[in-house]
Chains A and B, each alone.
Chain A
Amino acid sequence: DIQMTQSPSSLSASVGDRVTITCQASQDITAYLNWYQQKPGKAPKLLIYDASNLETGVPSRFSGSGSGTDFTFTISGLQPEDIATYYCQQYDNLPYSFGQGTKLEIK
């Protein structure tokens, strides 16, 4: 099974900051990597798919990059409504696996 290691586990940043989260896969997953946002009490929401593609309707301040085993998720200009937990997920192989999550807070 593929293990996903996400870091940091928590992050505090100010409005307007650039925020970066990383995700490392235990084996090559090419670009089969997604990023989800989950707000408290809500279902996850797909933000980025296939490592770098922005889902329809998602603000352009969200972006993703990487391939193989190393991936990066970036928020360029943090907004108050971005407070959430973010998860990476691989779908190269079943069973799908998620990173442990990054809880983002406003400083």
Chain B
Amino acid sequence: EVQLVESGGGLVQPGGSLRLSCAASGFTFRSYAMSWVRQAPGKGLEWVSGMSSNGVSTYYADSVKGRFTVSRDNSKNTLYLQMNSLTVEDTAVYYCAKDRAIVVVPASPFDHWGQGVLVTVSS
């Protein structure tokens, strides 16, 4: 059974940093591109970042480019999102999501999602 478990969320002040983790199991993690998707309270879904299966290529939404860094450790089956210079607009539930198809770069529907982790940016 595929499982994605996010951790690392919490309350942080504006300008602060946080690192999210997504622990994967039940599939060959190194074969799949992965993404982060967020959802502000009461709002819709926003794709944030993606990473190729081999960890070489990274992709970002304009809203987080230069502040967020996605990475992965295929030996630990874990995806990360380093978030710096956080603003109140970054307050959201952050989901990690797995590509449905075995493609190197993100280019597939998301067939499995984690339960999400809440990041609150507030003074």
CA distance A18 to B27 in the complex (A): 37
13 CB-based A-B contacts, threshold 8 Å: A1-B62, A43-B113, A43-B115, A44-B37, A44-B95, A44-B110, A46-B110, A55-B111, A91-B107, A94-B50, A94-B59, A97-B47, A101-B44
Interface size bracket, B side: 20 to 34
Task: Report which of A43, A50, A87, A94 forms a contact with B95, defined as CB distance below 8 A.
Answer: A43
Q: A98 and B111 in contact (CB under 8 A), knowing A43-B116, A49-B100?
A: no
Question: A residues touching B (Cβ–Cβ < 8 Å)?
Answer: 1, 34, 36, 38, 43-46, 49-50, 55, 87, 89, 91, 94-101
Within 8 A of A (CB), among B30-82: 35, 37, 44-47, 50, 59-62
Question: B residues touching A (Cβ–Cβ < 8 Å)?
Answer: 35, 37, 44-47, 50, 59-62, 95, 100, 106-111, 113-116
Q: Which residue of B lies closest to A33 (CB)?
A: B109
Q: How many A-B residue pairs have CB under 8 A?
A: 55
Task: Report which of B44, B50, B107, B114 forms a contact with A43, defined as CB distance below 8 A.
Answer: B114
Chain A residues with Cβ under 8 A from B37's Cβ? 44
Q: Which residue of A lies closest to B101 (CB)?
A: A49
Chain B residues with Cβ under 8 A from A94's Cβ? 50, 59, 106
Which 3 pairs show the lowest CB-CB distances between chains A and B? A43-B113, A96-B47, A49-B109
Task: Report which of B45, B61, B95, B113 forms a contact with A95, defined as CB distance below 8 A.
Answer: B61
Instruction: Please tell me if the beta carbons of B111 and A89 are within 8 angstroms of each other in the complex.
Output: no
CA distance A55 to B113 in the complex (A): 14
B118 vs chain A, min Cβ distance (A) = 11
A66 vs chain B, min Cβ distance (A) = 15
Chain A residues with Cβ under 8 A from B62's Cβ? 1, 95
CA distance A32 to B53 in the complex (A): 20
Chain A residues with Cβ under 8 A from B110's Cβ? 34, 36, 44, 46
